[in-house]
Amino acid sequence: MNRELMEALDILEKEKNISKDTLLGAIEQSLIQACKNHFGKADNVHVSINPETCDFRVMADRTVVEYAEDPALEISLVDAQKINAHAEIGDVIQVEIHSKEFGRIATQNAKNVILQKIREEERKVLYDQYYGKEKEVVTGIVQRVMGKNVSVNLGKADAILSENEQVKGEEFQPTERIKVYILEVKDTPKGPRILVSRTHPGLVKRLFESEVAEVQDGTVEIKSIAREAGSRTKIAVWSNDPDVDPVGACVGMKGERVGVIVNELRGEKIDIINWDENPAILIENALSPAKVIAVMADPDDKTALVVVPDYQLSLAIGKEGQNARLAARLTGFKIDIKSETQARESGDLYDYEDEEEYYEDEEYGEEYESSEETPVPESYEEAAVEEE
């Protein structure tokens, strides 16, 4: 049993996470390469390795001739009969090749083949590991600031946090621990190139999944997210269980759950609203904290007119239009916001107080005219009394 080789393979398998079969395959290729370097060719060479004991044999097929002119492919009859007494000219016999006979260059080349294979497999393992974490949030340690980019160590590989994926105003110090969203993992000859983000809406979604048990188990769904990184995020949630309040679950007791996420996002404000299949109700919720008088939504054109009280207009639009902009992204509707006065002047808000209304009693077949002089009966019983 080749104990030294077996121990070396076990260590590599644990530290580099490379399978023993792959390493044995690399050794096999290195031995064939060594034969090629030593003899000039290796088409007739076979390597057999016992995976249990790590014992290996290198055998070469050689044709028996009277006088060998090409030692890589031929063997003399005299030498062949030393191996097999019944060997005859024209037979093909297997001759064992001892790796100790290889020259220094052949040995060095074989070593390089093994090291190259180990490096390739290590890169592949790293790529597969982090490729499987795409669109996930991981914790990294800031390594160094490279100009406007930041290098973040994710454990076994470094990631790049580019300027475009950084929140404006955020500053990082070496050894600082931060959470990042893995945008993309690319396979390159130098290893996986990992791009991460602090601005992607997916970062907020994954943070809620990690902090809110109801989101993690699917009881509460995050239907939509709109984010302006570093400033404000709006998130629409829905509960699959009528006994579970989705907003309350995400906020947590005394705001503990959402507080953890706000701290991680360094003070970014988060509005959590109820999702609704009715676009008018959804838009009204999305414009929170502003109060809404009326919403006229067109699902086909994805447009909506929203009327708010005069004193709520600036709140509904938000600073530099942020509240309206985030609501539009969250709902997918193009939203036009008007004050109550503007809506009345343009005729978008119908004023029922100045118009006459007619109410028809289904039982008596009577029409009642609504005016200041003739108030509308509040019930059929009152109408019947008046009729009498």
Q: What is the pLDDT along the chain (388 residues), one digit of tens a residue?
A: 467 778 888 888 887 788 888 888 888 888 888 887 777 777 788 888 887 877 888 888 888 888 888 887 888 888 888 888 888 888 888 888 877 767 677 777 777 888 888 888 888 888 999 999 999 999 999 999 888 899 999 998 999 999 999 999 888 989 999 999 999 999 988 889 999 999 999 999 999 999 999 999 999 999 999 999 999 999 999 999 999 999 999 999 999 999 999 999 999 999 999 999 999 999 999 999 999 999 999 999 999 999 999 999 999 999 999 999 999 999 999 999 999 999 888 887 765 444 444 444 444 444 444 444 444 444 434 434 444 4
> What's the token pair of residue 150?
């930041």
Only one residue has tokens 């004991």, namely 53
Percent of the chain with pLDDT over 70: 88
Only one residue has tokens 């699902």, namely 299
pLDDT number for residue 369:
44
CA distance 240 to 292: 27
pLDDT number for residue 198:
96
> What's the token pair of residue 335?
């939203």
| CA distances for 221 relative to 134, 178, 236, angstroms | 21, 26, 9
Only one residue has tokens 């590989």, namely 157
> What's the token pair of residue 103?
């020259």
Q: Tell me, yes or no, if the pTM score tops 0.85.
A: no
pLDDT number for residue 33:
80
Q: Give, as one character, the DSSP assignment of residue 347.
A: T
CA distance 314 to 296: 20
Is 216 within 8 Å of 250 (Cβ atoms)? no
- Which amino acid belongs to residue 136? E
Is 250 within 8 Å of 234 (Cβ atoms)? no
pLDDT number for residue 264:
92
CA distance 78 to 378: 124
- Count of CB atoms situated within 10 Å of the CB of 272: 20
Helices (H), the chain: 3-16, 20-39, 77-83, 104-131, 201-211, 213-216, 246-251, 256-264, 279-286, 313-317, 322-331, 340-346, 380-387
- Count of CB atoms situated within 10 Å of the CB of 98: 8
CA distance 170 to 265: 10
CA distance 159 to 180: 10
pLDDT number for residue 305:
94
| CA distances for 226 relative to 200, 212, 233, 262, angstroms | 10, 19, 6, 15
pLDDT number for residue 83:
85
CA distance 136 to 132: 9
pLDDT number for residue 162:
94
Is 233 within 8 Å of 258 (Cβ atoms)? no
> CB burial class (10 A; 0-12, 13-18, 19+) of residue 338?
buried
pLDDT number for residue 387:
43
- Which amino acid belongs to residue 236? A
